[in-house]
Amino acid sequence: MTTERNHSKYQQKVIKRYYDNRDAIGLQRAQELVTELYLAEGKKREKVWDSLANHLEKAGIPKSRIEHLRAQDDPELVAKLITEKI
């Protein structure tokens, strides 16, 4: 059985919309994580960066740019990038 046969037409449409809007979803979650990044310290900050990098990647940001932002460790730079993408 193919995936299409396992899902109803409604479910297929929901899945398609998710993937069509994946970059917007990634940016929205990245915006939320920037706030957390401002407040986080220590190990929590590393976890926030991991999640933020994942969502920025989903939003279509190149890995090299994400690595540069992470090396800078400046939430303001990430916020500016997200603002540019919106």
Residues 2 and 10 sit within 8 Å (Cβ to Cβ): no
Per-residue pLDDT, 60: 87
Q: What is the mean pLDDT of residues 29-40?
A: 92
For residue 42, which amino acid is it? G
Does residue 1 carry a pLDDT above 50?
A: no
Listed residue (43, 34, 46) closest to 78, CA to CA: 34
DSSP assignment of 50-77, as one string?
A: HHHHHHHHHTT--HHHHHHHHHHT-HHH
**Cα dihedral 53→57→60→63 (10° resolution):** 80
Each residue's pLDDT tens digit, 46-75: 999 999 999 999 888 999 999 999 999 999
Q: What is the domain count for the chain?
A: 1
Per-residue pLDDT, 73: 94
Lowest mean pLDDT among 1-5, 8-12, 65-69: 1-5
Whole domain around residue 68: which residue ranges? 3-85
